[in-house]
Structure 1
Amino acid sequence: MKKAVSVFLFVVTLFLASPARSDASDHRYKEGDVVPLYANKIGPFHNPSETYRYFDLPFCIPDHMKEKKEALGEVLNGDRLVSAPYRLDFQKEKESEAVCKKKLTKEEVARFRSAVIKDYYFQMYYDDLPIWGFIGKVDKEGKDPSDYKYFLYKHIHFDVFYNKDRVIEINARTDPNSLVDLTEDKEVDVEFMYTVKWKETSTPFEKRMDKYSQSSSLPHHLEIHWFSIINSCVTVLLLTGFLATILMRVLKNDFVKYAHDEESVDDQEETGWKYIHGDVFRYPKYKSLFAAALGSGTQLFTLTLFIFLLALVGVFYPYNRGALFTALVVIYALTSGIAGYTSATFYCQLEGTNWVRNLLLTGCLFCGPLFLTFCFLNTVAIVYTATAALPFGTILVIVLIWTLVTSPLLVLGGIAGKNSKAEFQAPVRTTKYPREIPPLPWYRGTVPQMAMAGFLPFSAIYIELYYIFASVWGHRIYTIYSILFIVFIILLIVTAFITVALTYFQLTAEDHEWWWRSFLCGGSTGLFIYAYCLYYYYARSDMSGFMQTSFFFGYMACICYGFFLMLGMVGFRATLLFVRHIYRSIKCE
């Protein structure tokens, strides 16, 4: 286990020690030097997951086309960089330079027209700086769609800014007066052209990526984010303060009452949560599954903390291609030992004997649904020939990471947990036979309690959720990680508190089966987030099509399931501390 922790810390240190602003190769260029320009992908603007290779459309193909070697995260992000047909040599201006002349067949015209109708955009990278633009436009002068006209842009203007021997900024704009009419199904002659203008700037190389992060840091955006924070804090303080006041007063009265009862008649009948002291620490049903859920939740919680750490130190800046995906894969693999250790330790504390099955369950509890979802969605992407379809080599790398890193660390953590010899700390003894739970009103059932438990934490984060969704499932840039971290802390606090409060009222109703209830109530926020997905997809976004819909709801189901496990663990851990505290504070015979 110590070895696994050492390896983990070493890799994380490498992440943090890497330059936070290694925006590009640190190339310096002389006049006339070739600066790399790569075409990345194309796709419908409103469907961020549905992207295709640049040359899936019949653009001009360069004489010497080569593919850029990509990191794991770039491939997972759907990037497929190849040589672009344009040549932008350093400080060399060009005016209406011809790329190629070609005759578009009827089929090629139809493909371009379909792309224009779907608002296709293109993305390129010049010295690792992003370039994007639309490939055409629709002229909607007529009211009837049959009167619409469709045009392809054939001339791109590149404006490149440089500081001495460095490329600082590049903008691409299409010429609205240089169009190809694609309305009719007929062959069309087209000459693709481009213009390059170079301009000097005083912006230093180290700050060339700042403009991409400033869009999310504009004053009016910050005001909305801080309003979200203030709204969440006020809501949380009022509601949790109200609940805390009630809970503290009730607990104080309970302690006084039970202390008075102990001084009076010894055989007086007990009521309330003290009455079930002999059952409250009775181990839950399906304890192997319960321990596995705690282990997986703890791993995901640790993963989230490290992702926030990397984000706050500046590792995830805009257009750092695939950095987040790489970090997720690597850190998840290296934290699997935490899942194994936590699960096996708790399972053995619950007097479980089949720890091998428990470890298998822990390893598959989150990865199993994720793997099945990936298989389905990757098949969909293959059918669509989209860049979201992972190559065989990338799949092999992920399988090797799982086989050579994740699984061994999971087993090592499980062995360490099994041998930890830790015992479950229960302040009161558990009786041999469980008490019968009295009939309870419908609103004290599991589902209504989960609804109440999930609503308050969700209300604290729902404003920020829109910006996160617009970034993950759109083209908005999100860089205000400090605010996101504050929202995350608020989410944890509210989840812990509301779960504790509901568990207390459950115990006062003499219902001692609180273990699974506290986990389900804590994790119920994940269900609310998935419900928000439905609202966002149909009311706030313009996503459409089977592929984009399946990717959105498929991967969001996995993310929300991860939140369910993580917040369920938080809710249970907080509740366990609370229950131990109140039963330690009274005298039970």
Structure 2
Amino acid sequence: MTRFTPLVSAAGAALLLVLSTGPRLAEAFYLPGMAPTEFTDTSDVPVMVNALTPGAENRNAVKSVIAYDYYDPMFNFCKRETEPESQPESLGSILFGDRIRSSPYQLVMMRPENCKILCTQEVKAEQAKFINERIRENYLINWLVDGLPAAHVSQVGPEEQKVYSIGFPLGADIENGQPELHNHYEISIDYHKNELKDKLRVIGVAVEPFSFDVAQAGEEYCGIDKNADQVPPKILSETKTNSVTYTYSVHWKLVDQEWATRWDKFLLVSEPRIHWFSLVNSIIIVLFLTGMVAMVLLRALHKDISRYNQFEAQEDIQEDFGWKLVHGDVFRSPSYPMLLSIVVGNGSQMFLMATVTIVFAALGFLSPSNRGALATVMIVFYMFFGIVAGFVSARLYKMFGGESWKRNVAGTAFLFPAIVFGSFVGLNFFLIGAKSSGAVPFGTMLGVAALWFLVSTPLSIMGSYLGFQRPKIEHPVRTNQIPRQIPDQVFYLRPFPSMMIGGVLPFGAIFIELYFIMNSIWSHKIYYVFGFLFLVFGILILTCAEVTILMCYFHLCAEDYHWWWRSFMTSGASAFYIFLYGVLFYFSRLQLQSFTSMVLYFGWTTIMSLMFFILSGAIGFFATFVFVRKIYGSIKID
């Protein structure tokens, strides 16, 4: 499950749960975090509360990205007599802003409740102003019952299809009127009876909130069972102290649905035709590029190599031209070789982390019931693949003839992670200033830093050691001592235009799926179509590789041998379009009303774009590296 408050996803996160076909299979196999809880007809069913998050009810624009603790004093919700207990959470759950605690709601299995009074709270004027602002920003209350989020059911489309959305509105923002606070909750719980064990299991939780002024309704008020239309809503005055009575009703319903499929209502793919259109669009781009690369390799290159390798009738062979003319300069070390080796090494680390995470998710191992599993797995894999970053960086730096190996080792281990971690800490201060529950605790910060310094850094140093111990990579052709002069290039082959042209194709292959990912991140929805994401990620790899190979071939034919950095930047330039898409998404889908929200949005969008730049740039670099070595290793040089 991808849920952001305000950490990605890039990201930001994203196959359906493994579903069992019968009770015996359901009892025999469960994925981590998915074991069912068995209840009896007298068991207490705990209701856990989570942070309040901004939503987009009725397709309204998201107005904030800041989460607030359920027990924030400004909300002044009902509390237990004892201090609320915090539920143990994973690293990813904490980073994603989950703050799960116990609640005063008392639910007993199969025992209905009718308008049970929870408590009466005094809401001061400044608290009322704060709550009204959160209602105007479409904030949602998040509950968990047996690990299943409480849903708000709405009907959309001409067929009035039921859509289950996580959380339910804090209140109703009435146009040209005062916001109404929801203070009565109709809780509907579906349960299933396991006949083999004679036990009960929670299958679904839905909450329908209402706003009633209990004081004006009188003591005989009994929720919606009375004439609700005649009961005035609860409107908080911002000039005086308000008295708010919270009530709830509980309804139990026996259903035939199996426990293993209880997440299905949340995991229904929204607009599947658009997902398929995205795949078709991406496949067309890949087929087009594949055709171009095949034409270059099978026709132009094959013809050129055959001509260059002729030994007979040499007097008839034309003078070298095009890409063979630069054979003495094509493997000349690039400018800033250390920086290039570092970013390619870190890009390799990002690529392997993303690949393994998506594969695990596509196989169904990252259950949405295991909150924060996606982020935790991403962080763990990133740390362990530090050895790959060090190895790749050292091998490239040694190939470039670098001698400052200590700086290379330190740069690989600290440069890119320091930029991301430093930005993360900086954005966290804005969350602290906004008193958001999404602010990462200091202890968790130390834990992330410990993983960096005690796991990733030693592995990166080990990888660098192994890389420097390997023999130097030898080029297939010798490099001339005097650099060849590069002729003037046409406009579209100059560095900036060519990178922008090359970057638009990888972006075009993923931009539709990118919309669903960003909508999931910022609208706090579940993104769980990892099957689509796996295919789109594969298409992205092919597109980055093919477009950089094509652009490199065109540059070499134009006698421009500066391909090292350009191969990285051409595919990496797609990150620039992702950032522009983030700007477009901001103006089309968001209406952020605070400076802190804007800083958080653009800050994390920049970090996500930077990560994508490093990842996609490494793909393009290695594809071009293999291509150049292959073509120049296939010709005979006098």
Q: How does 1:167-566 map to 2 (within 5 A)?
A: 167-176=202-211, 177=228, 179-183=233-237, 185-214=239-268, 216=269, 221-242=271-292, 244-245=294-295, 248-259=298-309, 263-265=313-315, 269-421=319-471, 423-566=472-615
Q: Alignment identity in percent?
A: 35
Partner SS for 1:434: coil
Partner SS for 2:611: helix
- Rounded to whole Å, the distance in 2 between the matches of 1:476 and 1:262 is 68
Gaps of 5+ in 1: 1-15
- Rounded to whole Å, the distance in 2 between the matches of 1:256 and 1:206 is 62
Aligned to 1:157: 186
Indicate if the aligned counterparts of 2:568 and 2:620 stay in contact, CA closer than 8 A: yes
Gaps of 5+ in 2: 1-17, 19-27, 56-61, 151-166, 194-199, 212-227
Cα RMSD, aligned residues only: 2.2
Indicate if the aligned counterparts of 1:527 and 1:560 stay in contact, CA closer than 8 A: yes
**Partner deviation per Cα, 1:355-411 (whole Å, 9 max, x = no partner):** 221011112332122022112100000000112211111111111111211111111
- 1:319 to partner: Cα distance: 5.0
Q: Indicate the structure whose relative CO is greater, using CA pairs within 8 Å and at least 6 residues apart.
A: 2
Cα 1:20–1:566, aligned 2, differ >3 Å: closer, same or farther?
A: farther
- Rounded to whole Å, the distance in 2 between the matches of 1:459 and 1:28 is 48
- Rounded to whole Å, the distance in 2 between the matches of 1:419 and 1:295 is 16
Aligned to 2:620: 571
Task: Name the aligned partner's letter for residue 133 of structure 1.
Answer: F
Task: Name the aligned partner's letter for residue 395 of structure 1.
Answer: M
Aligned to 1:53: 69
- Rounded to whole Å, the distance in 2 between the matches of 1:530 and 1:181 is 41
Task: Name the aligned partner's letter for residue 259 of structure 2.
Answer: F
Select between 228-237 and 258-267 the one with higher mean Cα deviation: 258-267
Cα 1:135–1:67, aligned 2, differ >3 Å: closer, same or farther?
A: same
Task: Name the aligned partner's letter for residue 301 of structure 2.
Answer: L
Partner SS for 2:168: strand
Indicate if the aligned counterparts of 1:21 and 1:206 stay in contact, CA closer than 8 A: no
Indicate if the aligned counterparts of 2:186 and 2:249 stay in contact, CA closer than 8 A: yes
Indicate if the aligned counterparts of 2:342 and 2:393 stay in contact, CA closer than 8 A: yes
Q: Number of residues paired by the alignment?
A: 562
Partner SS for 1:74: helix
Partner SS for 2:179: strand
- 1:490 to partner: Cα distance: 1.1
Partner SS for 2:508: helix
Partner SS for 1:54: coil
**TM-score normalised to the size of structure 1?**
0.90
- Rounded to whole Å, the distance in 1 between the matches of 2:401 and 2:112 is 76
1:114 to 109, 112, 133: 133
Task: Name the aligned partner's letter for residue 251 of structure 1.
Answer: L
**TM-score normalised to the size of structure 2?**
0.84
- Rounded to whole Å, the distance in 2 between the matches of 1:537 and 1:205 is 39
Select between 402-411 and 470-479 the one with higher mean Cα deviation: 470-479
**Partner deviation per Cα, 1:113-159 (whole Å, 9 max, x = no partner):** 2222222211011111102211211232xxxx4xx122111111111
* Greater share of helix: 1
Partner SS for 1:66: coil
- 1:535 to partner: Cα distance: 0.9
Aligned to 1:37: 47
- Rounded to whole Å, the distance in 2 between the matches of 1:408 and 1:274 is 43
- 1:246 to partner: Cα distance: 5.1
- Rounded to whole Å, the distance in 2 between the matches of 1:440 and 1:434 is 17
Indicate if the aligned counterparts of 1:312 and 1:481 stay in contact, CA closer than 8 A: yes
Partner SS for 2:187: strand
- 1:89 to partner: Cα distance: 1.8
- 1:19 to partner: Cα distance: 7.3
